[in-house]
Amino acid sequence: MFHIALYAPQIAPNTGNIIRLAANTGFTLHLIEPLGFNFEDKQLRRAGLDYHDIALLRRHPDYRHFLQAVDGSRIYACSTHGEQNYTAIDYRPGDVLLFGPETTGLPASLRNGDDITACIRIPMQPASRSLNLANAVAIVAYEAWRQQGFAMG
């Protein structure tokens, strides 16, 4: 299936919601440290409900270790700086959807890195800065899954 990767997430409830999303879609969720919260945070647990035990979750001490874990996968950096609309991509199982921290987004060094297949964006009104991280992940993840006919497993 697909991979969702959160680089240095900062807000526990967002990550909890994304854990729940990953469990419900069958996507693997990668958390790339540093995390801006304690992994035992009550808000993280509450937002993820009882999905923590069924989500496919991997933690990585840094971006380099994450890249080793997904070696050979296409990586789509999701950013307000993206040049391609997220719906213009022909997603394939194994693709990685990479998102940055809530307050700053992906650093330019990552979103423009040689390991990135494309930097994509979600359209918004011109005066808007960004969407909530959990909402943005859900939008892109469900488009990738939709393209696969919502295949299970």
* Residue 18 located in a structural domain: yes
* Residue 153 located in a structural domain: no
**Residue 36: CATH number of its domain:** 3.40.1280.10
Q: Would you say 37 and 10 are in contact if contact means Cβ atoms under 8 Å apart?
A: yes
Q: Which domain holds residue 104?
A: 3-147
* Residue 11 located in a structural domain: yes
CA pair distance 56, 28, nearest whole angstrom: 5
Q: Would you say 55 and 29 are in contact if contact means Cβ atoms under 8 Å apart?
A: yes
Q: Render pLDDT for 97-106 as a digit per residue (tens, 0 to 9).
A: 999 999 999 9
* Residue 152 located in a structural domain: no
Asked if the model's pLDDT at residue 55 lies above 90, the reply is no
* Residue 41 located in a structural domain: yes
* Residue 71 located in a structural domain: yes
Domain total in the chain: 1
Q: Render pLDDT for 61-108 as a digit per residue (tens, 0 to 9).
A: 999 999 999 999 999 999 999 999 999 999 999 999 999 999 999 999
Q: Render pLDDT for 109-142 as a digit per residue (tens, 0 to 9).
A: 999 999 999 999 999 999 998 899 999 999 999 9
* Residue 136 located in a structural domain: yes
Angle of helix 133-147 relative to helix 12-25, nearest 10 degrees, comes to: 10
* CB neighbour burial string for 59-72, b if at least 16 within 10 angstroms, e if fewer: ebeebeebbebbee
User: For residue 99, which phi and psi values (nearest 5 degrees)?
Assistant: -125, 150
* Residue 92 located in a structural domain: yes
